[in-house]
């Protein structure tokens, strides 16, 4: 596919997302719209975590920390610097507001990526369980750290974040995350990530700089988690560290494990399932976590590879289904 075609596709899809936003958002029941937005955010979280845990084989259970950094940083930017930028820029508001938003999100992602770099460093010397605990610890340290900064709300939380997140942005960033991670994984770099997961010693012997790849996985994964955090903050218009605890990290881990570590399709499907499930289980809300935990244990015992294992959605599957249907129709 040549470069111009790619750019045309990007423009077309952006237009499509914009259209969907303009048509659907005002008409859809706000509850359903919220679910859609949460689905998108969770897909971004699951796919980005899968890069670290599933494809590179690192045990990271502190993803919520990166989310928090992204959320709070972008909110601080749009809240404090946003108005000043909007005043000074000469562009019309319908352009400069999204610009401020995107800048804020990117800044949040960048800072989260930097945190990913810091968290990635212990990963160089630690394996498995120990790494998991350290990532958990980092998540907690980040949370405590944020709690102590009054300028972004501290214990009261950060209120009055401008409502910039819309279906357009969520669709856009979700697709972006999926495409970036997928393209990365299905490339020579992706094979390098996988080799780190499979056998680090052999990977090093074959010329793979495993250190670089481990840290890079953390950095990229954290970046997208930061974006997700920013999207969430600018939707709820409120941020509190209670949303970014270990429980949140664990929910993302559940999505990755349920979908299949090493399957992007799996992460997408599982993210959607685990976004919808709490809503479906709302009548028995108190039993929800008990149900989840039992489900998790049973899943690990019976099917630890998750729904998709390491397989991805394939156009060939559709072709197979259609050719089978065609054969049936012709045979009849």
Partner 1 sequence: MQEFIQQLINGITWGSIYALIALGYTMVYGVLKLINFAHSDVYMVGAFAGYYSAHWLGIAENPSVPKAVLVMLISMIVCSCLGMTIERLAYKPLRKSSRLAALITAIGVSLFLENGGQLVFGADPKFFPQLIEGQEIWSKSGIVISNLQLIVLLASLTLMAILQLFIYKTRTGKAMRAVSFNIQVASLMGISTNKIITITFAIGSALAGAAGVLVGLTNPKIDPIMGLLPGLKAFVAAVLGGIGNIPGAMVGGLIIGIAEVMTVGYLSSTFRDAIAFGILIAILIFRPAGILGTSTTEKV
Partner 2 sequence: MALLELENVCINFGGLKAVDKFNLALQKGELVGLIGPNGAGKTTVFNMITGVYPPTQGEIRFSEKKTNGLKPYRISKVGISRTFQNIRLFGELPVIDNVLVAFHQHTTSGLLASVWRSKKFWLEEESLVKKATELLAIFGLDTLKNEISKNLPYGQQRRLEIARALATEPKLLLLDEPAAGMNPQETAKLMLLIKDIQKKFDLTILLIEHDMQVVMGICERILVLDYGVTIAEGPPEKIKKDPKVIEAYLGEEIH
Q: Which residues bind partner 1 (CB under 8 A)?
A: 53, 59, 122, 125-126, 128-130, 132-134, 137-138, 140-141, 144, 147-148, 201, 250, 253, 257, 261, 286-287, 289-290, 292-294, 296-297, 300-301, 304
191 binds partner 2 (CB under 8 A): yes
> What's the Rg (C-alpha) of the chain?
21
Residue (2 or 148) nearer to partner 1, CB: 148
Per CB under 8 A, which of residues 252..311 are in contact with partner 2?
262, 310
If contact means CB under 5 to 8 A according to the sort of partner, which of partner 1, partner 2, none does residue 332 touch?
Answer: none
> Torsion-angle region of residue 262: left (phi > 0), alpha (psi -120 to 50) or beta?
left
Output the DSSP codes for 287-329: GHHHHHHHHHHHHHHH-TTTTTTT----HHHHHHHHHHHHHHH
The HSE-up count of residue 99 (CA atoms within 13 Å, CB side) is 13
Please name which of 148, 170, 151 lies closest in space to residue 159, comparing C-alpha atoms: 151
CA 325 from centre of chain: 36
Cβ atoms within 10 Å, residue 291: 13
If contact means CB under 5 to 8 A according to the sort of partner, which of partner 1, partner 2, none does residue 7 touch?
Answer: none
Per CB under 8 A, which of residues 102..141 are in contact with partner 2?
none
Per CB under 8 A, which of residues 162..181 are in contact with partner 2?
179-180
Contact pattern from residue 300 through residue 329 relative to partner 2, giving x for each residue in contact according to CB under 8 A and a dash for the rest: ----------x-------------------
205 binds partner 2 (CB under 8 A): yes
Q: Give the chain's length.
A: 332
Q: Is 157 exposed, middle or buried (0-12, 13-18, 19+ CB in 10 A)?
A: middle
Q: How far is the CB of 252 from partner 1 (least distance, A)?
A: 12
Residue (57 or 229) nearer to partner 1, CB: 57
If contact means CB under 5 to 8 A according to the sort of partner, which of partner 2, partner 1, none does residue 207 touch?
Answer: partner 2
Range in contact with partner 2 (rule: CB under 8 A) among 70-78, 190-198, 295-303, 322-330: 190-198
**Which residue intervals of the chain are DSSP H helices?**
3-24, 30-50, 63-76, 82-88, 93-123, 128-147, 167-185, 188-198, 200-205, 210-236, 246-259, 264-280, 288-302, 315-331
Distance CA 188, CA 44 (A): 23
If contact means CB under 5 to 8 A according to the sort of partner, which of partner 1, partner 2, none does residue 134 touch?
Answer: partner 1
Residue (32 or 145) nearer to partner 1, CB: 145
If contact means CB under 5 to 8 A according to the sort of partner, which of partner 1, partner 2, none does residue 179 touch?
Answer: partner 2
Per CB under 8 A, which of residues 66..105 are in contact with partner 2?
none
Question: In this structure, are residues 227 and 108 in contact, taking their beta carbons and an 8 Å threshold?
Answer: yes
* Residues in contact with partner 2 by the rule CB under 8 A: 1-3, 6, 179-180, 183-184, 187-192, 194-195, 198-199, 201-211, 216, 262, 310
């Amino acid at each position: 596919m040549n470069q111009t075609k790619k750019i045309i596709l990007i423009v077309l899809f952006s237009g499509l997302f914009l259209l969907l936003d303009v048509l659907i958002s005002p008409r859809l029941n706000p509850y359903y719209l919220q679910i859609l937005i949460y689905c998108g955010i969770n897909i971004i979280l699951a796919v980005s975590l899968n890069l670290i845990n599933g494809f590179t084989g690192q045990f990271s259970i502190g993803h919520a920390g990166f989310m928090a950094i992204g959320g709070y940083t972008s909110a601080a930017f749009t809240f404090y610097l946003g108005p000043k930028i909007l005043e000074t820029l000469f562009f019309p508001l319908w352009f400069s507001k999204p610009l401020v938003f995107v800048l804020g999100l990117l800044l949040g992602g960048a800072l989260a990526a930097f945190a990913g770099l810091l968290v990635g460093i212990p990963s160089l010397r630690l394996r498995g369980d120990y790494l998991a605990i350290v990532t958990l610890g980092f998540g907690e340290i980040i949370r405590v750290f944020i709690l102590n900064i009054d300028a972004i709300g501290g214990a009261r939380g950060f209120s009055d974040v401008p409502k910039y997140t819309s279906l357009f942005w969520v669709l856009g960033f979700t697709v972006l995350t999926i495409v970036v991670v997928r393209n990365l994984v299905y490339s020579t770099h992706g094979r390098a990530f996988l080799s780190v997961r499979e056998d680090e010693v052999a990977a090093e012997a074959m010329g793979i700089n495993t250190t670089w790849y481990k840290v890079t996985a953390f950095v990229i994964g954290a970046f997208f988690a930061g974006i997700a955090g920013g999207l969430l903050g600018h939707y709820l218009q409120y941020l509190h560290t209670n949303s970014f605890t270990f429980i949140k990290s664990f929910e993302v881990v559940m999505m990755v494990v349920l979908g299949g570590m090493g399957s992007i399709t799996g992460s997408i499907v599982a993210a959607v399932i685990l976004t919808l499930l709490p809503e479906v289980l709302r009548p028995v809300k108190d039993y929800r976590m008990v149900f989840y935990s039992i489900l998790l244990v049973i899943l690990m015992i019976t099917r630890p590879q998750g729904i998709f294992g390491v397989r991805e959605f394939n156009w060939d599957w559709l072709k197979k289904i259609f050719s089978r249907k065609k054969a049936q129709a012709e045979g009849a």
